[in-house]
Structure 1
Amino acid sequence: MAYELSDSITINASPAAVFNLLSDITRTGEWSAQCYRAHWNDADDTHASYAPSHGIGSTFTGYNHTPEREWSTTSEVITYKPNTEFSWQVLSSGTIWGYRMEPAPNTNDATLLTEYTAFTPAGEAYFRSKFGPDATAQEAQRQHAATAGITQTLTRIKEILEG
């Protein structure tokens, strides 16, 4: 049940402003539907904020919750293109999450922001090993949560950047 999901929103902020916010993973809890806290794993202070050294290959831990459970994941930054794209891969499942930014058409200093995720065949294998016969149901539950969560997350990011 591999899948890819995405949604987009126009934000009245420059691609640079959007990128600077989203690449500071320590602020993720402000907008994410599930991740309430994140920190860089290579920082001396686990609450350290964004630093330019947090590019491709940097890892971070995200702490997530739903009404049913709490868990943490370690992810690695796989795309770091200032003002254009920021993405990461969850190391346990291979799931990819990210944001793409581009100047919004017919606007002055606005950004078309796209959030996306890809649940890969590696994720399917991980879920089979972790959940056994319940893997398909767990995957469907995650896909449903991601679909709703992406829209909710984009709305929150817009609210933060537009004030």
Structure 2
Amino acid sequence: MTALEFSESVVVVAAAVDDVYAVVSDITRTGEWSPICQECWWNEADGGGVGSTFTGRNVTADRTWETVSTVAAAEPGREFAWVVGDNFVRWGYTLDATDGGARLTESWNFLPGGIDFFHSKFGDDAQTEIDIRSRAALDGIPRTLAAIKGIVESEA
């Protein structure tokens, strides 16, 4: 069965949760750590709070596409999360203070609206397309966390 929800954590050494939050909530930096999302920009001049939207440009070997996401949680030092499209997928970061640093958790959840969308868009190929997205998340999350850890620690 395809994983429709996944999360993983990494301890970011010698960085306060507020410093880690400042990095992960700056969507304009996403291209620095994401293996697929190469660029993001706010759709509003004052973007960043709950309800703000941003566009992301995604690139794989097979295609390039853009998505619009809405910020679902923006609690400095605690959580930054967004929903892609019309409730298709929820991505997010949560933070917990630890001795000497912060624990950063990235989560991904393929929502029922996304599954319905894939069935209407891809028909009989929907499950294959869902599997592709699931594998990309399972592969990308640990790579993303490692990249964020390196960035935050180099800036500390």
Same fold, judged at TM 0.5 (above): yes
Q: In structure 2, what is the equivalent of residue 35 of structure 1?
A: 37
Corresponding letter in the other structure for 1:7: E
Instruction: Tell me, in whole angstroms, the C-alpha distance in 1 between the residues paired with 2:53 and 2:87.
Output: 15
Instruction: Tell me, in whole angstroms, the C-alpha distance in 2 between the residues paired with 1:28 and 1:138.
Output: 24
Instruction: Tell me, in whole angstroms, the C-alpha distance in 2 between the residues paired with 1:75 and 1:24.
Output: 14
* Residue 90 of structure 1 pairs with residue 84 of structure 2: yes
Instruction: Tell me, in whole angstroms, the C-alpha distance in 1 between the residues paired with 2:53 and 2:132.
Output: 26
* Residue 100 of structure 1 pairs with residue 101 of structure 2: no
Corresponding letter in the other structure for 2:72: I
Give the TM-score normalised by the residue count of structure 1.
0.89
Deviation at 1:149, TM superposition (A): 0.2
- Unpaired stretches in structure 2, ≥5 consecutive residues: none
Contact 2:37 2:56 survives alignment (8 Å): yes
Over the matched positions of the two proteins, sequence identity in percent amounts to 43
Q: In structure 1, what is the equivalent of residue 61 of structure 2?
A: 67
Contact 1:2 1:124 survives alignment (8 Å): no
SS at match of 1:78: strand
Deviation at 1:38, TM superposition (A): 0.3
Runs of 4+ residues over 6 Å off in structure 1: none
Contact 1:102 1:113 survives alignment (8 Å): yes
* Residue 144 of structure 1 pairs with residue 135 of structure 2: yes
- Unpaired stretches in structure 1, ≥5 consecutive residues: 44-50
**Alpha-carbon spacing, 1:2–1:159, altered in 2? closer, same or farther (3 Å):** closer
Instruction: Tell me, in whole angstroms, the C-alpha distance in 2 between the residues paired with 1:18 and 1:102.
Output: 10
| RMSD (Å), alpha carbons | 1.3
State the number of aligned residues. Answer: 152
Answer with 92-101 or 112-121: which moved more: 92-101
